[in-house]
């Protein structure tokens, strides 16, 4: 139970990686999270507010309404990939993530920042600085972090089989691995 005695409410604010893009409904890592919680008899509600194509700016603008509507005890922030794919300002991406974390904390929620890595379309310096944003924001906001959502998916020997034909979005077979990356730090945040 949450500190209030009510079951946890986990709000996932993400992009296509969390919104089941190209997948049959129920096959994404977020619905798999719901199943895992039920299997482990953890009474929690999961709200998936992920939108394909969303950026950190979009998430930041939507978050206040989502916090008010759902009153989450936990917020999982999985945003930033579209910022990088569009070559947006890293300073803005970092600030948006930090402000979302602070807003969620101010509303009483624990926060989990989910990191992502991107292809070096804008050069290795941009890529390196982008990847450093997630642990930096987590450290500043004193939150937990998943360094790389696609660990074991994008960097494994079977990576080619774990992506849809666009080579950007993971297949249904990749979703359990994605959940396995999110689960350990999220589980530590939930009541025993």
| pLDDT tens-digit readout, 64-74 | 999 999 999 99
| Catalytic annotation, residues | 16, 166, 169
Task: For residue 1, tell me if it sits in a domain.
Answer: no
Task: For residue 133, tell me if it sits in a domain.
Answer: yes
3-state secondary structure the chain: CCCCCCCCEEEEEECCCCCCCCCCCCCCHHHHHHHHHHHCCCCCEEEECCCCCCCHHHHHHHHHHHHHHHCCCEEEEECCHHHHHCCCCHHHHHHHHHHHHHHHHHCCCEEEEECCCCCCCCCHHHHHHHHHHHHHHHHHHCCEEECCCCCCCCCCCCHHHHECCCCCCECHHHHHHHHHHHHHHHHHHCCC
Task: For residue 2, tell me if it sits in a domain.
Answer: no
Query: 110-114 and 9-14 as β-strands: parallel, antiparallel, unpaired?
Result: unpaired
Q: Of 61, 125, 116, nearest to 83 (Cα)?
A: 116
Task: For residue 3, tell me if it sits in a domain.
Answer: no
What is the radius of gyration, based on Cα positions, of the chain?
Answer: 16
What pLDDT is attached to residue 103?
A: 99
Chain length of the chain: 192
Task: For residue 178, tell me if it sits in a domain.
Answer: yes
**Are 105 and 159 within 8 A, CB to CB?**
no
Task: For residue 145, tell me if it sits in a domain.
Answer: yes
Total domain count for the chain?
Answer: 1
Q: Which residues pair with 13 in a beta bridge?
A: 77
CATH (domain of 170): 3.40.50.1110
What pLDDT is attached to residue 6?
A: 85
Tell me the CA distances in angstroms from 121 to 61, 74, 80, 92, 152, one per residue in order.
27, 33, 15, 19, 22
**Which range of residues forms the domain containing residue 52?**
9-189
Task: For residue 101, tell me if it sits in a domain.
Answer: yes
Task: For residue 130, tell me if it sits in a domain.
Answer: yes
> What angle do helix axes 175-189 and 29-39 make, rounded to 10 degrees?
50
Q: Report the distance separating Cα 123 and Cα 184, nearest Å.
A: 32
Q: Report the distance separating Cα 149 and Cα 112, nearest Å.
A: 12
State which residues of the chain have pLDDT below 50. Answer: 1
Q: Which residues pair with 47 in a beta bridge?
A: 11
């Amino acid at each position: 139970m949450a500190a209030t005695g009510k079951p946890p409410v986990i709000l996932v604010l993400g992009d296509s990686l969390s919104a089941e893009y190209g997948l049959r409904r129920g096959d994404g890592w977020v619905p798999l999270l719901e199943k895992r919680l039920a299997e482990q008899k953890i009474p929690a509600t999961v709200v998936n507010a992920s939108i394909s194509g969303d950026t950190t700016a979009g998430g930041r603008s939507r978050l206040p309404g989502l916090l008010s509507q759902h009153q989450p005890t936990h917020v999982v922030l999985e945003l930033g990939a579209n910022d990088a794919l569009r070559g947006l300002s890293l300073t803005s991406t970092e600030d948006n993530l930090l402000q979302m974390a602070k807003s969620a904390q101010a509303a009483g929620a624990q926060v989990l920042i989910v990191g992502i890595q991107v292809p070096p379309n804008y050069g290795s310096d941009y890529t390196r600085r982008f990847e450093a944003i997630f642990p930096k924001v987590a450290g500043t906001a004193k939150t937990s972090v998943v360094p790389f959502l696609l660990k074991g998916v994008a960097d494994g020997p079977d990576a080619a089989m774990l992506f849809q034909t666009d080579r950007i979005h993971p297949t249904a077979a990749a979703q359990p691995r994605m959940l396995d990356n999110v689960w350990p730090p999220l589980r530590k945040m939930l009541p025993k």
